[in-house]
Amino acid sequence: MSRITPSRVLMTILRGVIVIVMLFVTLLPLAFMVATAFKTNSEILVFPPTLWPASPTLQHFIDIFSSDGTWTFFRNSLIATIVSTLLTICFAIPAAYALASHRFPGDAGRAIGLGVLMLRFLPPFAIVVPLFIMLRGFGMLDSVGALILVYTAFHLPLAIWIIQPAVAQIPKEIGEAAAVDGNGVVGTLWRVILPLLRPSVATAAAFCTIFSWNEFFFALVFTSTRARTYPILINSYVSDSGPDWGAIAATSLLAVLPIIVLVVVLQRQLVGGLTAGAIR
């Protein structure tokens, strides 16, 4: 049995204090957003600000959904997010499998994987002009399809990077045994490898969902009226007379709830997916 020493007790207390401080810093903005969504306009501008509303109201939510087009913004975001995430995962799984299992000459697979990952770190404004010209040439501006294509292309390198270490960690004997049983490359990937990749696939899907759901820059540039998403709706509450903080907070709260539910549901998968390939 280990002996409890003053230094160990001090370290335990210090870790607890650090965790509490981090939770406070992380959750305080979320708590203010929730409180602001239920405050009246007069109470929002009170200084010093209050954390909880004195007289909670649902007026901001009523105003949001009584406005024409609010559901359209959320529907466009939902369609673009779901379809782009599904396409990204469908392309990322075979790509990660090929990069991790195929023997490239001169260890070129590592360089290819790094090159694919570097595409994810391109700043959006560096590629927005050629993308705009391409989408305009295909007549896809102001369409949800344009957002789906851009989100898929932009998030695909990240998904490959998350899934590839998990594929590399799978013993090659498993694939060889599947081949002996009569499975081809596709059969081995679908029946044997894919079930082992569920944590990494869930992690990649969660990240792609979050990034697509919250994406603002591409939606602002490539859409104008029909395909606008909910981040553009939030931006519309900022006018010359000033921001409508109540509407902004209420819309943000409605937007963040699905992400919170997604993370809670996939919590165990996310932990396993983020640590896949970390231990060799």
**Where is pLDDT greater, at 138 or 51?**
138
Residue 144 lies in a domain: yes
Please tell me the distance from the alpha carbon of residue 186 to that of residue 90, in angstroms, as a whole number: 13
Query: How much helix, strand and coil, in percent to the nearest 5, is found in the chain?
Result: 75, 0, 20
Residue type, 208: C
Would you say residue 230 lies in a domain?
A: yes
Tell me the average pLDDT across 71-95.
93
Q: Range with the lowest mean pLDDT among 53-57, 91-95, 209-213, 249-253?
A: 53-57
Look at residue 63 and tell me if it is in a domain: no
Same domain? For 85 and 195 the reply is yes
CATH number at residue 206: 1.10.3720.10
Q: Compute the distance between CA of residue 113 and CA of residue 99 in angstroms, rounded to an integer.
A: 7
Do 162 and 83 lie in a common domain? yes
The verdict on 91 and 213 lying in the same domain is: yes
Q: Are residues 112 and 21 in the same domain?
A: no
pLDDT value of position 198: 86
In a domain, 129, yes or no: yes
Tell me, yes or no, whether 37 and 136 share the same domain: no
Structural domain count, the chain: 2
Q: How do residues 238-280 score in pLDDT, each as one tens digit?
A: 887 778 888 899 999 989 988 888 888 877 766 665 555 444 4
Among 18, 37, 57, residue at a domain's last position: 57
Residue 62 domain-assigned (yes or no): no
Q: Is residue 212, in this structure, part of any structural domain at all?
A: yes
pLDDT at 99 over 90: no
Are residues 44 and 181 located together in one domain of the fold? Answer: no
* % of the chain residues with pLDDT over 90: 27
Cα atoms in the 13 Å half-sphere on the side-chain side of 88: 35
Q: What is the pLDDT of residues 167-226, one digit of tens each?
A: 888 777 777 777 777 777 777 777 778 888 888 898 899 999 999 999 999 999 999 888
pLDDT tier for residue 104 given thresholds of 50, 70 and 90 = low
Domain boundary (57, 84, 99) is at 57
Q: What is the pLDDT of residue 143?
A: 93
Mean of the per-residue pLDDT values of the chain = 83
CA dist., res. 257 & res. 204, Å (int)? 19
Q: Which of 204, 190, 185 is nearest to 102 (CA)?
A: 185
Q: For residue 135, which amino acid is it?
A: L
Query: What is the signed CA dihedral for 48, 50, 56, 59, rounded to 10 degrees?
Result: 50
CB 232 within 8 Å of CB 19: no
Of 114 and 46, more confident = 46
Q: Quick check: 120 pLDDT over 60?
A: yes
Q: 94 and 171 in one domain?
A: yes
Classify residue 18 as exposed, middle or buried by CB count within 10 Å of its CB (0-12, 13-18, 19+).
Answer: exposed
Tell me: do 167 and 247 sit in the same domain: yes
What is the pLDDT, as a whole number, of residue 280?
Answer: 43
Domain interval for residue 137: 68-275
163 and 25 part of one domain: no
- Residue 231 and residue 270 in one domain: yes
**5: region left, alpha or beta (phi > 0 left; psi from -120 to 50 alpha):** beta
| pLDDT 10s digits, 5-29 | 777 778 888 888 899 999 888 888 8
Does some domain include residue 164?
yes
Tell whether 167 and 34 lie within a shared domain: no
Q: Residue 94 falls within a domain, yes or no?
A: yes
One domain for residues 181 and 104: yes
pLDDT for 53 beyond 80:
yes
Residue 148 pLDDT: 95
Report the pLDDT value the prediction gives residue 279, as an integer from 0 to 100.
45
- Give the Cα separation of 17 and 32 in Å (integer): 22
Q: Residue 275 and residue 271: Cα distance in Å, rounded?
A: 6
> Looking at residue 278, what is its pLDDT?
47
Mean pLDDT confidence for 147-174: 87
Q: Which of 19, 36, 57 is the last residue of a domain?
A: 57
